Amino acid sequence: MIEFRNLTKVFYLRGQRKVVADNINAVFPTGRSVGLLGRNGAGKSTLLKMIAGTMDATEGKIVSDGSISWPVGFAGSFHGELTGGQNARFIARIYGVDTDELVSFVRDFAGLGGHFDLPFRTYSSGMKSRLAFGVSMAVPFDTYLVDEVTSVGDATFRRKSAEVFQARMKHAGAVVVSHGMNQIRQLCDAGAVLENGKLYYYDDVNEAIAHHNENTSK
């Protein structure tokens, strides 16, 4: 369960006030995969960062009764001088996961070949994302946060990513940000629309998509 309690987030950019969250009160139930929809610039990624705890709210708070992942595929916390394998081992130790099992899973899943044993700083952006997605999926969380990550890589990797993610969803929930409605339907069973700082939750993902489509058609 993820609960938003009087959540407010305000930015000031070049003297302009931008409200991303305007006193939001809502609940994402335990075990649901929620598609987070909204126009470009509505604040979806900002809301995801607040759920992850990497960005503070201006007022209010977010409460959860389970573990929440970092945004899946986020590579910003990896050390550039460590190899892919060393970074994976470091994450395993932090989260108390069996080190050898995690490294074995990531090595196979990311498909980096010999690059897995080279410094992270030498990776292309696509390689970094593949490693980050593999590490994210290797750690068991109650809720996974996903921001367009399954678009990384070629068709084979995207298909493999979707399959692994769906397997995780049998035992966990998620909050998914994507501009692809087919992907939202594939990965999510509920939805929420962020519009002008307000959040509208729907138990049926198709109702959320209909709301979003209505907003974007205006």
pLDDT at residue number 153: 63
CA distance 28 to 173: 9
pLDDT digits (tens, 9 = 90+) for 155-194: 788 788 888 888 888 899 999 998 889 889 988 999 999 9
Model pLDDT, residue 150: 53
Q: What class has domain 1-67+174-218?
A: alpha beta
Say if residues 36 and 192 touch (Cβ distance below 8 Å): yes
The Cα 132–Cα 137 span in angstroms is: 9
For residue 73, give the nearest of 172, 143, 144, 2 by alpha carbon: 144
Which tokens in the block code for residue 159? 């298909």
Distance CA 70, CA 67 (A): 10
One-letter amino acid for residue 109 of the chain? F
Q: What is the pLDDT of residue 157?
A: 82
- Give pLDDT, residue 149: 57
Where in the chain are the domains? 1-67+174-218
Q: Name the DSSP letter for residue 124.
A: -
Say what the pLDDT of residue 162 is.
80
Would the CA dihedral through 84, 53, 144, 171 be positive or negative? positive
Q: What are the backbone angles phi and psi of residue 22, rounded to the nearest 5°?
A: -115, 85
Global pTM value: 0.86
Q: With 0-12 CB in 10 A as exposed, 13-18 as middle and 19+ as buried, what is 111?
A: middle
Q: Which residues of the chain have pLDDT under 70?
A: 149-153
State how far Cα 28 lies from the chain centre. Answer: 15
pLDDT at residue number 152? 60
Cα 70 to Cα 6, 28, 147, 194: the distances in Å are: 23, 17, 10, 20
In angstroms, the CA 57 to CA 46 distance is 10
Q: Which residue has tokens 């998620």?
A: 174
pLDDT computed for residue 151 by the predictor: 56
Q: Tokens representing 85? A: 């394998």
Q: Which long-range contacts (CB under 8 A, 24 or more apart) does 210-214 make?
A: 211/37, 212/37, 212/38, 213/181
* CA count, 13 A, side-chain hemisphere, 86: 12
